[in-house]
Amino acid sequence: MVSLDPIIRCSKLTKTYGQGESAVQALRGIELEAFAGELLMLVGPSGCGKTTLISVLSSLLDADGGECRVLERDLRSLSAAEKTAFRARSIGFVFQAFNLIPTLTAAENVAVPLLIQDMPRRAAVRRATEMLERVGIGDKAGKLPSQLSGGQQQRVAIARAIVHEPRLVVCDEPTSALDHQTGERVLKLLRENALRDGRTLVIVTHDHRIFPYADRIAQMDDGRVVSVQRPSEKSQ
Ligand SMILES: Nc1ncnc2c1ncn2[C@@H]1O[C@H](COP(=O)(O)OP(=O)(O)O)[C@@H](O)[C@H]1O
Ligand SMILES: [Mg+2]
């Protein structure tokens, strides 16, 4: 069910990296909304600001100007500690580089968001192992990230992003290391798990094969959202 209340509302959002001659204006006035129960995809050429935008949405990075409201909070009004707590409870991430902890097993990596929320260790690892089964790599629960293929690491990262049932899941190119069949399976899994009960999923992707899974697709170019379309309207 897509509700009418935006879970994300960005207006006139700007972000510049560096200063003077070397300054790069990564976001140049982003206007964007995402709704409860929606899978919104963000697409656009390399360097257009996609990773910067989802870093701001997930409160990992501060914008310079404009407004960004996420899950009823004005991100500008939150202290660093409040942002940390907000992310731990409400947001799941799949980073482009997976960012798994190399000294922890797959199950322990997936358990991290539960441990941060004080779930007892045994229960957290059990729940994490169930999540790994759901993404099709239950047999890898005891392996270290270095013992897994890129695609398997990506599935661990996805399991970690959804294990604590956050209201917003943000993914940077989640299917890039996966073959088509596995990519579709992961997308279905993300849709089933990250959209339940009015949750919201934002996926950055270049992979046009997964466009049909989107509710809406926001096209970015040079720091702006230039159009928002339904997948059926988008030429591929
Ligand atoms: N930490 C950073 N320091 C300086 N420039 C950056 C940094 N991160 C990104 N950029 C620049 O900002 C622009 C947008 O980058 P990014 O958000 O990563 O784009 P995308 O994810 O769409 O490829 C690019 O020109 C990139 O080089
Ligand atoms: Mg990027």
C-alpha 101 – ligand 2 centre gap (Å): 21
82 Cα–ligand 2 center, Å: 26
**pLDDT band (50, 70, 90) for residue 160:** very high
CA–CA separation, 114 and 31 (whole Å): 33
Residue in 16, 22, 51 to alter for ligand 1 test, most ligand atoms within 8 A of Cβ: 51
Q: Return the domain boundaries, the chain.
A: 6-233
Looking at domain 6-233, its CATH superfamily turns out to be P-loop containing nucleotide triphosphate hydrolases (3.40.50.300)
The CA distance from 194 to 192, in Å, is: 6
pLDDT tens per residue across span 4-16: 679 999 999 999 9
Those residues whose beta carbon sits under 5 angstroms from the ion ligand 2 are 51
Q: pLDDT tens for residues 194-213? A: 888 889 999 999 888 889 99
50 Cα to the center of ligand 2, angstroms = 6
Using the mean position of ligand 1's atoms as its centre, give its distance from the Cα of residue 50 in Å: 8
Answer yes or no: is pLDDT of 52 > 60. Answer: yes
Give 15's strand partners.
Answer: 27
For 120-159, what is each residue's pLDDT tens digit?
A: 999 999 999 999 999 889 999 999 999 999 889 989 999 9
pTM reported for the whole predicted model: 0.93
Place of tokens 């501060």: 62
Mean pLDDT throughout 74-83?
95
Determine if ligand 1 sits within 6 Å of the CB of residue 24: yes
Q: Which ligand approaches the C-alpha of residue 44 most closely? A: 1
